Structure 1
Amino acid sequence: MSGLTAMFAALFALMLLTLGWRWLFIAAVTAKRDFTALWAYIKLLLLIKRYERKNLSIGDIFEQNARKQPNKLAIISDSQRWTFRQLNDFSNRIAATFHKHGYRRGDVIGLLLENRPEYVAIWLGLSKLGVITALINTNLKGPTLRHSINVAKCSALIYGEDFCDSVAQVGNEIPAKLYQFNNDLSEPVRPDATDLTTILYSLGDVELPVGVHRPHHHDKLMYIYTSGTTGLPKAAVISHSRYMFIAAGIHYTLNFKNKDIYYTPLPLYHTAGGVMSIGQALLFGSTVAIRKKFSASGYFADCVRFKCTIAQYIGEMARYILTTSPTQYDRRHKVRMIFGNGLRPLIWRSFTKRFNIPKVGEFYGATEGNANIMNNDNTVGAIGFISRIFPQIYPISIIRADPNTGEPIRGVDGLCQRCAPGEAGVFIGKIIKGNPSREFLGYADEKASAKKVAHNVFKKGDMAFISGDLLTSDERGYLYFLDRTGDTYRWKGENVSTSEVEAQVSNVAQYKDTIVYGVAIPHTEGRAGMAAIYDPERQVDLERFAYELSKVVPPYARPQFIRFLTKLDITGTYKLRKVDLQREGYNPNVIKDEIYYRTAKGRYELLTSEIYHKINVGQVRF
C-alpha cells in the first residue's frame, strides 16, 4: 500500500513540476465539464461507428423508428399532426414517384417549400433513392434563386404553390424540370410544371420500389446553403454520416432525451432547424413541433400548446422575444432547456430570468465546418470550450490571423501560431479524412471549398478548416465569439468589433435591430463606425441615446454616423445583412433614410449635403 501511495505522490510531484499549480487548479475546476463532454463524445463516436459498420442511411434509421412506434407523433404544427407511419408512407410515395420518373442515385433535386411535414418527407423519400436534395431558401428570388438552383446542378425542382411567382421569374433560365406541389388540390398548376400532388395521391399503398440502389452511409444526402450575409449562397455538402453526426452530437452533448418534445420555428432548409431539431425525430424517435414562420409573441404560447420540453432559437430571435409584452405563457411552459446560437451575452440573464429557463445550450458552428462546439454547462456568454485537460481529443484551435482578411499570421517556420488566452484569433478545426467529426466535405462549388482550407498549419502536410470567425478564450478554455473576419475595423488606432458594438447600441435603442460597420472617410486613417438602426417610426431619442451609449462604449468604438432604416434586409436565419449598407456609406445625396453624424461635443446632428461636403474636404473632422 505504501508503495502505491509513493507512486501516486511521485506522479503528482511530476505533474506539478511539469504543469504547475495553476494548471492543476484549472484542471480541477473544469474536470466535470470536460469529462461530461468526453463521455458524450465517446457515445457519439460509438453510435456513428455502429451505423458506419452497418452502412446505414438516414432513411434506414428512420424506418427502424417508424416500425417501433408507428403511431407516435413525429412532426406537429398548428394545422398538421403526422405520425411516424404517415411520414414514412409519404416518403415512400415520393421515392416511388421519382424512381418511376427516372431519377437515380447521385441526381440532385431542388426543394422550395415552406415548413410542413411534407417538407421532411420529400427529402427523406428522395434520399431513399440516393437522390441529393438541395434545400432552397424560401426567401430567394431572381438571380439569387437562379444561382442556388444552378450551382447545385439541380435536374429538377419541387416547389410549393406559394412560390409560383418566384419560379416564374427564373423558369426560363434554369434547366431543372419543374414539379409543383400543391397543399390545396384545387390550385392551378403552371403549364410548364408537373402536378406532383395529383401523382402522389393517385398511388395506392406503396413500398420502396424493388431494385432501388439505396444510398451508402457516406453518400451525399443534401445541400444546405450558407445564409448569404456576405455574398451569394454556397451549397454546403451534407452526407448521411454528417447529418447523423450533427444531430446525434447535440443530442448527447446537451443530454437530450428521446421523450423530449422539441419546438423549432426555424426554417427547415437550414442546419439548425432541419438537422438539429428534425434529426431528433428521424434518429431518436422524438416529436418535433414546427411553425411556418417565427413569431416572437407566439414563441412560448406554442411551447405551452405543444407541451414542449426543449425549444430552439437562432440569431436575433431571443432579443425579439424579449421585447414582447409579458403574457400568461412566459412561465407556464415546461421548457427545461433552450438551445441555439446567437444569444447575446448582454441579454442572456434577462431572458432566462424572465422566462424561467433553467439551462441554455449555446452552440457554435458552420453547416459546412468541422469546428463545431457547444456550451454544455450553462456558462453565460460562452459558445463552447477547448479542454485544458485533453485538448488533443477534439483538435480545435484559435490561431493568430489578420482580423480583416482572416489570413493566418505565420511564424518564421511558416506555420500557424496558437493564440494565448484573452487573445483574439480565427477559429479552426483540424481536418482528418474519413473521420466524421473531423472531415470537411466543402461545397458543391470546389473552388469555394478550397478557400476554406488552410495547409501546413501546425506541421507540414496537415490541414484545417478556417471558420472565418474571430473568437477568444479564457484561462479555463471557455470560448467567446467576437466577430467575423472583415467585420472588425480599425479606428483611432484600436480594433473595433462590430458585434460587440451592435449589442450595446441595440440595448440602448431598446433592443431595436442594429447593424454596425466601418466606413471610409477621406483624409482619415482607418474606418469610422456607422450604426444602422431599424426605427421606421423614429422612436429613438438621440440625446438620451448618445448619453447612454457613452456610458457603455469607449470613445473609439462609438458610431460616428447613425442611419435610421425604414426597411430591413434579414436572412432566413435571422441574421442582418450589411453588404449593401457598407457599400452605400453615409452619403445623404443618395440615401433616403435620415443620417446623423457625431459632433466634437458628442451629440448626433442631422447630416446634410453641406456637412457631407465639409467632411469630404476635411473641414469637419472626427
Structure 2
Amino acid sequence: MVRLACCTAMLFVLRLLLGLPWYQVLPAILIFYLGSGGWSFVDIIVKTLGRDLHAAYVLLRVKLNVRRHLREKNTVPKIFAETVQRHGDKTALIFEGTGERWTFRQLDEYSNRVANLLLERGFREGDVVALFMENRAQYVGLWLGMAKVGIEAALINFNLRLEALVHCITISNAKAVVFGSELTDDRLFYIYTSGTTGMPKAAIVIHSRYYRMAALVYYGFRMTSEDVVYDCLPLYHSAGNIVGVGQCVIHGMTVVIRKKFSASRFWDDCVKYNCTIVQYIGEICRYLLNQPVRDAERQHRVRMALGNGLRQSIWEEFMNRFNIPQIAEFYGATECNCSLGNFGNKIGACGFNSQILPFIYPIRLVRVDEETMELIRGPDGVCIPCKPGEPGQLVGRIIQNDPLRRFDGYVNESATSKKIAHSVFKKGDSAYLSGDVLIMDKYGHMYFKDRTGDTFRWKGENVSTTEVEGTLSRLLDMKDVVVYGVEIPGAEGKAGMAAIADPSHSSDLEKFVRDMEKVLPPYARPVFLRFLPEVNKTGTFKFQKTELRREGFDPTAVTDKLCFLDSSRGRYVQLDEELYHSILSGKHKL
C-alpha cells in the first residue's frame, strides 16, 4: 500500500505539477516501482489477471441480473416459468430410485397442483409448511409449488430425532408437515444450519439469494444448460437444493436426483444418465477412492466435480483415477455473504480473492485469538487483516442494499446478531462472521483450515457440540460431557469424541449405545469416548476443550480409559495401541 501511495504521489507531481508528458512519467514510475521491490506485485498480476477478470465479469453479471429480477419483482417461480418456456419438453429431473423422468412442463404442472391443493386446504401467503422426507423428484415440486403461492417451506433434515426435530419444526412456526412414507425479499424457504453453537438454526433464503447462489456457481464454473448434474446430496441442504437443483430451476439443466449416496453405484449412474457434472462433499471423494477399481469410473462423461471439503492430500489422486479435468471446489454457507469459488482449478484451494482489486469483493481474513477465537483489533478498534500465510477468520462486509453483500440472517434474531461484528474493515461498519479459519497465499488463493466455535464437520454434516453434549449428558444421568472433533489421517472433517466425567466407569455402554441410536443421527454419535475423573471448566463454567483436542485419542498420550465405536459390531470397544494404529492406517472402518 505504501508503494502504491508513493507511485500515486509521483504521478501527481510529475504529471500535474511539473507537466511532464506521459511517455516520461510512466517509465519513471515503473522504474521506481520495480526498484522498490515491486516485482512481486508484477508476478501476481501476470499470474492472476485472467482469473480476476473472469471473477469480475461473473460478479458484475450476477449483480446486474439480481438487480433486474428485483426491479421486475421476479421470484424463483417466475424465473422457473421462463425456464419452462425455453425448455418445456426437455428432461428436468431424473429420480434414480425409480427411473422416472420429469420434463420441465411436468414439473411445472405438478407444482401447480401442489399450489392449488394448499390454497384449497386454507393455507395462505406467509404460512410455513415443513418438508420432512428423503430425496425424490416430488421434493422439488413441493417447495416450488409452495413458493408459487407465497408459502414458505422449512426443509428439515430427515436424520433428526426427538428434541432436534421438534426444535426445527417449532422455530419455523410450521402449520403443517409434509413427510415421506419412509419417514423478492419474500422468503422462499428455510434451510437449517448448525452454525457455530447450539441447536440447528433456520437460515432465511429469499428469492434473490437462491438465484444468486445458483448463478454464481453456474457462471463462475462455466456451466451450460446442456450439462447434466448428478445430485446425490440431501435436498434439505443448500448444496443439494440450490447449487444442484437450482441449475435445473434457473438455468434449464437436467438434474439426476439420487435418494442416497452410493459409492458402489456412483459411476454406474453417471454412465447411465450421461452426467457431465457430479456433486460431492469431501467424504464422498474418499468413499469413492476406497472402492475397488471398476470400468465405469473411466467410461463416464463427467468433466467437473462440484462441491466442497476435498482434502488436498487426495485431490490429485481423485482427479487422476477418475479422469476428471476440473475440481470446482467452493466455500460458502447458506446464509453467508463471503462465498468463494476455485475458478482456476488450483489444487487444494476453496476459492480466492483478488490481490489486484480486492475492493471489488470486500472479504478478508482477520486475526483471531486461537484459544477463544475472538477477533483481534488494533489500537483504532478495527480488526487486523491477516498477511499471506497467516490463518484468520473469513469475514464479509455487509451492505444491505447490495444483493451480493446483504446478510439475511436467521429466523432467530439473537442467532443473527451473533454472526455480525462491527468495525471490521473500517470504523463503524458491519461484517458477517463465517466462523471458519482459512489461510491465503500471496496470489489470493484461499485454503480452508478449520471451523471455529462449537461445531465440527463429520460425514458431510455440521455437528453442534452443544447439542450433542446436552443429549449425552441426559443419557448418562446428567454427567459432565465435553464433545469435540478430532482429526483422523485420511478422513475428511473431524470425528466426534466425548470426554465423560465418570471416575468409577459406572456407565453401561451397551445401554448407552442403544439409547444414543434413538436420539442422535449417525454422524453426530461420538466415534471415541474418554472417561475422566472430572472435566476442567473455566471460571464461567465453560468446558475447556483445548487440551482435550490436542491429546486426541492416542492411548500412548492419554492415561484415561478410551473407547472406540465399532460400527460393524454396533458397540464401543476398548481402544488400545493395536486398534489405534489400525485406525490411523485406514484398515479399520469408521
Into which bin does the TM-score normalised by the smaller protein fall?
0.7 to 0.9
Matches within 5 A, 1:577-616: 592-596=572-576
Aligned-partner SS, 2:52:
helix
Residue 109 of structure 1 pairs with residue 129 of structure 2: yes
Structure 2 match to 1:619: none
Query: Of the candidates 44, 47, 70, which is equivalent to residue 26 of structure 1?
Result: 44
Residue 402 of structure 1 pairs with residue 369 of structure 2: yes
User: How far off is 1:471 after superposition?
Assistant: 0.9
107-116 or 10-19: bigger deviation: 10-19
Query: Of the candidates 442, 448, 455, which is equivalent to residue 475 of structure 1?
Result: 442
User: How far off is 1:402 after superposition?
Assistant: 2.0
User: How far off is 1:377 after superposition?
Assistant: 0.8
Structure 2 match to 1:304: 271
Letter of the 2:144 partner, please give it: L
Query: Of the candidates 220, 238, 249, which is equivalent to residue 282 of structure 1?
Result: 249
User: How far off is 1:19 after superposition?
Assistant: 7.5
Matches within 5 A, 1:498-513: 502=487, 505-507=488-490
Structure 2 match to 1:515: 495
**Cα deviations by residue, 1:469-515 (Å, 9 ceiling, x for unpaired):** 111111111111111114799xxxxxxxx98x72xx333xxx69962
Segments ≥4 residues shifted beyond 3 Å: 2-8, 10-19, 227-231, 486-489, 511-514, 516-533, 558-563, 602-605
Alignment partners' CA distance in 2, 1:222 and 1:467: 21
Structure 1 match to 2:566: 566
Letter of the 2:117 partner, please give it: T
Letter of the 1:125 partner, please give it: G
Residues 604 and 322 of structure 1: CA distance in aligned 2, closer, same or farther (over 3 Å):
closer
Residue 340 of structure 1 pairs with residue 307 of structure 2: yes
Letter of the 2:398 partner, please give it: I
**Cα deviations by residue, 1:112-170 (Å, 9 ceiling, x for unpaired):** 1221111111110110111111001111121111100001111111112212xxxxxxx
Letter of the 2:56 partner, please give it: L
Matches within 5 A, 1:92-103: 92-103=112-123
Aligned-partner SS, 1:418:
coil
Alignment partners' CA distance in 1, 2:562 and 2:496: 9
User: How far off is 1:458 after superposition?
Assistant: 2.8
Q: Is the Cα–Cα contact under 8 Å of residues 403 and 485 in structure 1 kept in the other structure?
A: no
TM-score, length-scaled by structure 1: 0.73
Structure 2 match to 1:171: none
Alignment partners' CA distance in 1, 2:296 and 2:25: 59
Letter of the 2:275 partner, please give it: C
Q: Is the Cα–Cα contact under 8 Å of residues 136 and 148 in structure 1 kept in the other structure?
A: yes
Residues 10 and 39 of structure 1: CA distance in aligned 2, closer, same or farther (over 3 Å):
farther
**Cα deviations by residue, 1:324-360 (Å, 9 ceiling, x for unpaired):** 0111111000000101001111111111111011010
Residue 430 of structure 1 pairs with residue 448 of structure 2: no
Q: Is the Cα–Cα contact under 8 Å of residues 197 and 453 in structure 2 kept in the other structure?
A: no
Alignment partners' CA distance in 1, 2:268 and 2:126: 42
Letter of the 1:477 partner, please give it: G
Residues 560 and 228 of structure 1: CA distance in aligned 2, closer, same or farther (over 3 Å):
farther
TM-score, length-scaled by structure 2: 0.77
Residues 38 and 285 of structure 1: CA distance in aligned 2, closer, same or farther (over 3 Å):
same
Letter of the 1:261 partner, please give it: V
Query: Of the candidates 119, 123, 132, which is equivalent to residue 139 of structure 2?
Result: 119
Structure 2 match to 1:83: 103
Aligned-partner SS, 1:351:
helix
Letter of the 2:547 partner, please give it: G
User: How far off is 1:456 after superposition?
Assistant: 1.7
Aligned-partner SS, 2:297:
coil
Structure 2 match to 1:256: 223
**Cα deviations by residue, 1:415-447 (Å, 9 ceiling, x for unpaired):** 110011111111111111121211111111111
Q: Which runs of 5+ in 2 are unaligned?
A: 1-19, 457-483, 500-529, 537-543, 584-590
Q: Is the Cα–Cα contact under 8 Å of residues 518 and 529 in structure 1 kept in the other structure?
A: no
Letter of the 1:318 partner, please give it: C
Residues 369 and 331 of structure 1: CA distance in aligned 2, closer, same or farther (over 3 Å):
same
Alignment partners' CA distance in 1, 2:309 and 2:67: 31
Structure 2 match to 1:46: 64
Q: Which runs of 5+ in 1 are unaligned?
A: 164-216, 490-497, 534-541, 547-555, 569-590, 606-622
Aligned-partner SS, 1:417:
coil
User: How far off is 1:21 after superposition?
Assistant: 2.1
Residue 325 of structure 1 pairs with residue 343 of structure 2: no
Query: Of the candidates 92, 109, 133, which is equivalent to residue 153 of structure 2?
Result: 133
Residues 566 and 603 of structure 1: CA distance in aligned 2, closer, same or farther (over 3 Å):
closer
Aligned-partner SS, 1:161:
coil
Q: How many residues align?
A: 491
User: How far off is 1:52 after superposition?
Assistant: 1.6
Structure 2 match to 1:218: 185
Q: Is the Cα–Cα contact under 8 Å of residues 404 and 486 in structure 1 kept in the other structure?
A: no
